Amino acid sequence: MKPFATSLTIALAACTALVMLLPHCADAAPSGLTPLGGRPTFWIGPSRHGTSWMARTAMHNTLLYVSDALSNDVNVYSYPQDQLVGILTGFNSPDGLCVDAKNDVFIANYRAATILEYAHGGTAPIATLNDPSGFPEGCSIDYTTGNLAVTNYVVGSGKSNVLVYPAASGTPTEYTDSNVWQFRYCGYDNQGNLFVDGLSGTTFALDELASGSSTLAPISLNQSMGNPGAVQWDGRFLAIGSGNNSLYRFSISNSKGYVVGQVPLNGAQEVEQFRVQGNRLIAPDFGAGTVWIYPYPAGGGPLRSITGLKRPSGAVVSKG
């Protein structure tokens, strides 16, 4: 879990303490960029697998993609059978995932400062977007325009921001909020409004980039929230992660969010990015190395799980 706030001094001290045991620690950040808090630098390492592969029948089936930040792979499973049918390799700490109307999958390649696009069932990227701000963490597709939104985790003395790539291509437009020092995750609703959560100091913050607007505007919530988690429109309400094992559903109106229900994730340790898929919630558990499948919106105990991962971070479903 990325903490609420971590000073540069603490981060550098931790790296120094680990460098004798973890030789990649000192080389964790891209040149000129030092992460302020966030994911431990020792995540960086080679993929467990030399070559991406995919089962022949995968492209014809519904697929669940799960990013594994420690192995630097994205595992692909048949869904809802949860059978491993492919592995995509060659990433530098893959993080958030999102899917467009064509069922192409976008992968935020955190350390490489790129966003990679894969065709459904494909084994090689069909497009690469450069992130001028570095460390892309979350992403979402606007199904009304095809625009791609990306949140950037703050680095060094840089400024956390939200980037929007028109039609998921080209040069992005940058959006910031002087009151939000750290943006985390984002999600479009069915009207093309973008919601982004993050931190204002150590306090949870939620902004909206309304469709057609050029300014992020704050949304006040009537529910106290913990560490920012995923943001997703579930078809009726806006689902927002809060802490490590819970999320809330909100009705949004006139710059205010009204809670309509809580979804407990019993047994989860560190779930930040989740995916609502119909009446199921797919929850990569960064702490447990497991992907839990919960009933949605009831939550409670998991229905089943996918094991064998190291640090699962993001998840998305692409239909064949």
What pLDDT, on a 0 to 100 scale, did the predictor assign at position 84?
A: 98
For residues 27 and 123, the model is more confident at: 123
Averaged pLDDT for residues 162-183: 96
- Tokens standing for residue 49: 């697998």
> Residue 2 domain-assigned?
no
pLDDT greater than 80 at residue 213:
yes
Neighbouring residues of 18: CB distance < 8 A, sequence distance ≥ 6: 25, 41, 42
Q: Beta strands of 169-245 (E only): which ranges?
A: 173-175, 182-188, 194-200, 203-209, 217-218, 220-221, 228-233, 238-242
Average pLDDT, the chain: 87
User: What domain range is 76 assigned to?
Assistant: 8-318
Q: How many domains does one find in the chain?
A: 1
Please state, in angstroms and rounded to a whole number, the distance separating the CA atoms of residues 34 and 252.
Answer: 36
Residue 256 falls inside a structural domain: yes
In a domain, 3, yes or no: no
Residue 159 sits in a domain whose CATH number is: 2.120.10.30
Whether residue 27 is predicted with pLDDT greater than 50 in this model: the reply is: no
Is 105's pLDDT higher than 60?
Answer: yes
Least confident of 152-161, 218-227, 283-292, 297-306: 152-161
Mean pLDDT of 108-115: 97
Q: Is residue 224 part of a domain?
A: yes
Q: What is the pLDDT of residue 16?
A: 36
The lowest-confidence range among 18-22, 100-104, 179-183 is 18-22
Structure tokens, 63: 């697929």
In a domain, 280, yes or no: yes
Query: Any idea what the Cα angle at residue 119 is, between residues 114 and 121, rounded to 5°?
Result: 120
pTM for this one? 0.86
What pLDDT was estimated at residue 3? Answer: 42
Q: Is residue 72 part of a domain?
A: yes
pLDDT tens readout for residues 229-260: 999 999 999 999 998 899 999 999 999 999 99
- DSSP-derived 3-state class of residue 264: strand
Which residues have C-beta within 8 Å of that of residue 147, sequence separation ≥ 6?
Answer: 141, 164, 165, 166, 167, 168
Residue-level pLDDT at 154: 77
pLDDT at 281 over 70: yes
